[in-house]
Copies of this chain bind each other. A is one copy, B any other.
Amino acid sequence: MGAAAAADAPVVAQGINGSLTLAVAGAGAAIGIGMIGGKAVEAVGRNPGAFGNILTLGIIGMALAEAVAIYALIIAFGGR
């Protein structure tokens, strides 16, 4: 290989990294959000009077899991 190939290699690897990060972390984040959202609608169906409280707690939990996906998106955009 020449010097050009060596200089290009890091750019290739960076792209692989960022998208792999969002792939794996995003899948986990979506599964976590799914656990909370699934249980939340089940709980509202069981006890509609608790809708306000379930909405509050569910949104806090889903926002925390969504944050992980946003961290991965930042890394994917940064190309690290």
| Cα of A3 to Cα of B64 in the assembled complex, Å | 45
| Cα of A72 to Cα of B65 in the assembled complex, Å | 14
Smallest CB–CB gap between A39 and chain B, Å?
4
Number of copies: 3
Name the contact of A55 in the complex, choosing from B40, B49, B57, B76 (C-beta under 8 A). B57
Name the contact of A64 in the complex, choosing from B27, B66, B78, B79 (C-beta under 8 A). B66
Name the contact of A1 in the complex, choosing from B1, B38, B54 (C-beta under 8 A). B1
Are A9 and B8 in contact, with the CB atoms below 8 A? yes
Name the contact of A61 in the complex, choosing from B24, B29, B41, B51 (C-beta under 8 A). B41
Residues of chain A whose beta carbon lies under 8 Å from any beta carbon of chain B: 1-51, 53-80
Closest 6 CB pairs of A and B: A27-B28, A37-B61, A43-B45, A32-B34, A25-B26, A34-B35
